[in-house]
Structure formats: structure tokens, C-alpha cells
Structure 1
Amino acid sequence: MESHEQVVSSATLACRAPYGSAMIDPIVQNFWSQIAGRHDSEAFAVLDAAYREPHRAYHGWGHIVDMLSKLDQLSALAVRPDLIAAAIFWHDSVYLTREPNGHPRTDPENVRDSVLLFERHSRFDAMEQAAIHDIIMATANHMKSKAKKEHYPGFSGDLDFFLDLDLSSLAVSWPVFEQNLENIRFEFHWAPEQDFYLGRTKMLESFLGGGDKLFRRPETRALWLAPARENLQRAASDLNQKMACSA
């Protein structure tokens, strides 16, 4: 299995390379080839344009490659890896931190619009589309989401696995974790420093409040819980210090 640093390195490369060039990460090509026929002909161009939007730093192709790489490494945990891959491709396809009028935009709004964009380009059958819809919607409230319907045997486990993949970046090495925070700060460059620090602190503390349930699957918990909690505690402490210094 690749280290977290290796995964992030390949993700960074993918972010810098235009899709269609020889440099694009093969993990994207591999997983998209499995599901391309269940989308319309414009789907990938829409995704590519979205994940290369200039206001993104963390929520770009790098995040998608990171999740797909870990899905590939841990594919034995998935009943329908193809549907999880589709959810990965689309779950951040709409990502705005504020409206054109400057009003802050919430994560649930982005998730809702990401689902709508997926459905606009989907050619999956009804069951598969409903399953992908519910997996993406689960990111609107990571810690409290659960499967409301078992679309296929093992669906709830796949939903939990997807959510764990989405949070697996919490377990990277500390320098990468710090860079991820800086990238998110770039996405919220318009927010006053104190407001940003407060919002990030609340988010980190909510993850810490999840305890052992931060990661849902025992296999992913064994891999990622300890380093994630260490990063979260360190980051929360650092942000509290920054708020005190800038007050």
C-alpha cells in the first residue's frame, strides 16, 4: 500500500496536469473508464472544468485522485466500487464558499447542487442513481449521516466506506495536513481571519467529538483513526493560539 505522502504526491501531480495529457493520473482514467458509459458525452468535461476552477485549492482534482487511490487500494471493502467511484467523481463537483453577492455558502448547498449536476449527466439505472445520490448526500452531515435505504445488499457499508475515504485526508502526515489547511484557507480567502479560524476550530472539534466513530469501518479505523486524532488535536490547539494572538 502506498504511503499517504505518495498518494498526495500523485494527487498534486494530477492537479497540475490538464486532463487528456500524458501526465494525468492513471487512477482517474482507470475508474472513469469503468463508469463513462453510464454518463452522457459531456460528463467528464463538466467534471474537469469544475475541478480546475481557479477558486479551488483543496477541493480539486487532487482530492479526487487521493480518494480514488485509496478506493483502489482498499477495494476489497466495497461491494460496488463502481458506484463509490461515481460518488467520488461528483461529490464536490459544485464547490463555492460564497454566493455572487458575497453571502457565505453552506456545505449542504454545495452537496445538493453536486447531486443535481450528477443527475443531469447520469445514465445510470434507477437503483444505481438513487444509491449514488444518497452516498453523495451523506457528505452534507458527515458525522450523523446513515443509509436510509439499503439500495442493494451491502449499500450501508459502501456509504460508510465512502465517508471514511472522504475524511481519510485527516490522517496524512502533519506537513501535508498543514498544507491542506492552507489550501482551504485559500478557498475562504475572503473570510476574516478570526471567522475562518473559529469555523475551522468548530469543525475540527466536531470531528474530535466523534471519538472512535470518526471512521465508521473497523478496517479504516485501524488505518486512520490514531493519526487523524493526533492531527486534529494539534490543529485545534494551533488554531486556538492563532485566534488568541490575533484577537
Structure 2
Amino acid sequence: MPLSSQDLLDRWIALAGPGAAQLGAGIIARYAEPHRHYHTVEHLRAMFTAIDELAAEAADIDAVRYAAFFHDAIYAVDRADNEERSADLARDVLESLDAAPELVDEVVRLVLLTRGHDTEAGDANGAVLCDADLVVLAGDPATYAAYAAAVRTEYGHVPDDLFRAGRAAVLRALANQPVLYRTPAARSRYEQRARANLSAELAALTEPGAADVGQP
């Protein structure tokens, strides 16, 4: 069953304590900003469902869950520094909660990692967070189509030809990676379906006269 907004808030309270409930509600509310179409509360819910499935693979699951809350907390389609600004917000909020410095540093590192999903070998926390962020690539056809359409809507100001070229470049970069998912569990569950989805969208984007299809 999909997580509700209350479920998300309960998870925040479990991490940060009941005294931080208002802060958590404010962070979750950012994902409902009207300019968002993919980077939404629904995306956050899907991430937490995947993190639950992969939790045993993390070294510090609390750091991963905090990073999920913050990873798209600041998002504007016309800016290239969303992850940096979100990481700054994470540091400010966690320091205001007197979180341990090592936890703060790890959450900041993880948020920044979602910019390129370029995890290093042995980075268990990074692998879980990035796999959860990319789980949308392995959706069923209807779910993937909705994701692609939402991405296109977020980039509605970009002309069709430029969008198709840019989106195709993003998908090729993903498809050319040796593996999309770093944790064994995610690779087993999602890799094959995600690659099929990427191939299908790339074909739709690059065929002559292709219609628009919807950046993880």
C-alpha cells in the first residue's frame, strides 16, 4: 500500500522526534509546490517504499532516510544547484536539531550524491539512496509513461526539439552505465525492467517525427 503524507510525517518524527514535527511537515510540504510534476510527494513516497525494501543493505539507515527527505527539498527546473541548496538546508535543519556532526555530514554527502548518482564501491548508504531515487525507471508501462510525461511537463518551457535531445542524452548516459542499481537486491528486482524502459523511451525520442515523452 502506498505511503500517505501522514506516514511520511510519522517517519520524520521517528527520526527527529515529536518536537520536530512542524519542521518535518514543512519539508514534506515543499514536495507539493505547484511547479513540481515529478519531484513530488508521490516521488518521496516511492523512495521510502524502496528504502524500506533495501534497508538491510544500508550502513546507516537513519542517514539514508534523512537524505531522502532532503534530496529534492529545494527544486527549481531552471537551476543547476538544487542538490547543493537542498544539502545546505539539510545541514541547517539537522544542526538546529543538534544532530551528531557525523550524521549531519553524512546526510549532506548523500544529498549531494543524488545529483549524478555516482556512487563508489563500498558506499552502502549511497547505493541504497540512489537506487531508491532511480526505482521509478523500473516502473510498469503505465507508471513509467506517467513519470516520463511528468518530466516533460516540468520542462514545458523547453522547445520540443531541445527537450528530446536533452532527455535522450540523459537516458543514454544512464543506459551506458555498467549497472543502473548498486545494491544486489535492487539490481535483481529492477535492472532488467529499467533498461527496457530506457530503451523504449530512447527509441520514442529519437525516431523521426517522434511525439514527446517525458531527469530522474
Q: TM-score, normalised by structure 2?
A: 0.88
After TM superposition, list the pairs within 5 Å mapping 1:220-235 onto structure 2: 220-235=186-201
Q: Aligned residues: percent identity?
A: 26
How far is the alpha carbon of 1:168 from its aligned partner? 1.0
Residue aligning to 1:184: 151
Tell me the number of residue pairs that the alignment of Structure 1 and Structure 2 aligns: 209
Structure 1: unaligned runs, 5 residues or longer: 1-5, 15-23, 99-104, 148-153
CA contact (8 A) 1:164 1:215 kept: yes
CA distance in structure 1 between the partners assigned to 2:16 and 2:105 by the alignment: 18
Residue aligning to 1:72: 52
After TM superposition, list the pairs within 5 Å mapping 1:1-247 onto structure 2: 10=2, 14=4, 24-26=5-7, 28-37=8-17, 42-98=22-78, 105-106=79-80, 109-122=81-94, 123=97, 124-142=99-117, 144-146=118-120, 156-211=123-178, 213-241=179-207
The amino acid of 2:101's aligned partner reads A
CA contact (8 A) 1:56 1:187 kept: yes
CA distance in structure 1 between the partners assigned to 2:171 and 2:154 by the alignment: 17
CA contact (8 A) 1:90 1:118 kept: yes
How far is the alpha carbon of 1:38 from its aligned partner? 9.5
Q: 1:108-155 deviations in whole A, cap 9, x for unaligned?
A: x0000000111121122100000111111111222x3438xxxxxx7x
Cα separation, partners in 2 of 1:118 and 1:42, compared to 1, 3 Å? farther
Cα separation, partners in 2 of 1:220 and 1:245, compared to 1, 3 Å? closer
How far is the alpha carbon of 1:162 from its aligned partner? 0.9
CA contact (8 A) 2:9 2:24 kept: no
How far is the alpha carbon of 1:230 from its aligned partner? 0.3
Q: 1:57-106 deviations in whole A, cap 9, x for unaligned?
A: 110111111011121233222232111110000000011012xxxxxx22
RMSD of aligned Cα (Å):
2.2
How far is the alpha carbon of 1:233 from its aligned partner? 0.3
**Structure 2 residue matching 1:194: 3-state secondary structure:** helix
How far is the alpha carbon of 1:45 from its aligned partner? 3.5
Cα separation, partners in 2 of 1:167 and 1:236, compared to 1, 3 Å? same
CA distance in structure 2 between the partners assigned to 1:25 and 1:58 by the alignment: 20
